[in-house]
Amino acid sequence: MKLNVSGWKEFSVEQLFYIRRGKTLSSENKNMYQGNIPCVNGSSEHNGVFCYLAKEITEIGFELQKAPALSLARVGNAGKTFVQSSDFFLADNAFSLVLKGNQEILAYLFISTILNMETVKYSYGRTVSMEKYKKLSIRLPARANGEPDFGFMVNYIKTLHSKPVTTVLKEKQLILEIDKWHSYRMGSLFDFRKGKRLTKADMIPGKINYLGAVSENNGVREKIETSRYWEPNCITVNYNGSVGETFYQAEPFWASDDVNVLYAKEWWALNQYIAMFVITVVKANKYRFGYGRKWTLEKMKDTVIKLPSKEDGTPDFEYMEEYIRTLPYSDRI
């Protein structure tokens, strides 16, 4: 099924959704009411879930949000939406969006993809205002009577379902003895380069990946035509916008000035397996730079990360590669 967007119509968010804001969750209540119901906030990971609460928290004013619904980050990773397939609680940093009418969860998935294309509007520490977000217009498939064509959205998502991703590997139990890891300054491991902004006039559609301060699509905002580009086999880290989002680049690309580019020092060689290990460690630091704080080039160089190490104190990159290779589905990298 192909998407012919020429017949799509514009709808405001308030035409489509009922919107509710979450409630402030104190550390005391978070600890007191631990349970198994997800609580969503402004995170860009784990489907927006940052803790699990007991249903008894409703006794102090928290309302259980019914699924299906979308969660929308209000601050932090502002504008990021997730589809919530089970009932959940909502913290103050997020909104819930419930479609008007009894719509299938696949319709939420279709619309979430479109809403997430709007996250660029909320970079640089901007927050999502409920009133402004209600007025946001998006284009959707429409029926002849001008109403949203939810049936088409559901059927389109169904056509995307394919055979499950499989792996021939069986997981081996390689132990991560984190207490034996050593600390390394990132500037001692990588040569850092800063991306460069392009003007709209320079951004001609083409085939080269253009990286921006986004949290999805491997950091690729769009594809451009350019004779200048960065060499692949490196790691890119957003220092602005979706701060701390980290990706491995296997193809030539151009990086905007919101992105820092990290190449391995000459004394060691990066590959996609080592990159997957290191990226996970680097991303663990991104919480330090939320809410509009920038992870500048100098701060990133001075950031200390812990990695597996050899007896001589140097990073054990061979172990990192082996660890990733032994994980199920690593043969699909």
- pLDDT value of position 55: 94
**Can you give the pLDDT at residue 161?**
67
The domain limits of the chain are: 5-160, 178-332
The fold of the 178-332 domain, in CATH, is Adenine-n6-DNA-methyltransferase TaqI; Chain A, domain 2 (3.90.220)
**Three-state secondary-structure class, residue 155:** helix
Residue 20's H or E segment, with its range, is strand 17-21
Classify residue 45 as exposed, middle or buried by CB count within 10 Å of its CB (0-12, 13-18, 19+): middle
Pick from 278, 237, 293: which is nearest to 260 by CA? 237
Q: What whole-number distance in Å separates Cα of residue 284 and Cα of residue 326? A: 22
What confidence score (pLDDT) does residue 2 get?
Answer: 74
> What single DSSP character describes residue 93?
T
The Cα–Cα gap between 190 and 297 comes to 12
pLDDT per residue, tens digit, the chain (333 aa), is 678 888 899 999 999 999 999 999 999 999 999 999 999 988 777 899 989 999 999 999 999 999 999 999 988 778 889 999 999 999 999 999 999 988 999 999 999 999 998 887 766 557 888 999 999 999 999 999 999 999 999 999 988 866 666 666 665 667 788 889 999 999 999 999 999 988 877 888 899 999 998 888 899 988 999 888 999 999 999 988 788 899 999 999 999 999 999 999 999 999 999 999 999 999 988 877 765 678 889 999 999 999 999 999 999 999 999 999 888 777 777
Q: What is the pLDDT of residue 163?
A: 61
76 to 18, 124, 287, 292: CA distances (angstroms): 22, 10, 9, 8
Say how far residue 202 (Cα) sits from the centre of its chain.
27
Would you state the pLDDT for residue 305?
A: 96
Q: Which CATH number fits domain 5-160: 3.90.1150.10, 3.40.630.10, 3.90.220.20, 3.40.1670.10?
A: 3.90.220.20
> Is there a contact between 191 and 265 (Cβ–Cβ < 8 Å)?
yes
> Between the CA atoms of 117, 121, 123 and 129, what dihedral angle is there, to the nearest 10 degrees?
-110
pLDDT attached to residue 105: 94
Cα 187 to Cα 191, 194, 256, 299, 300, distances in angstroms: 7, 13, 21, 10, 8
Q: What is the pLDDT at residue 29?
A: 93
pLDDT at position 173 is 63
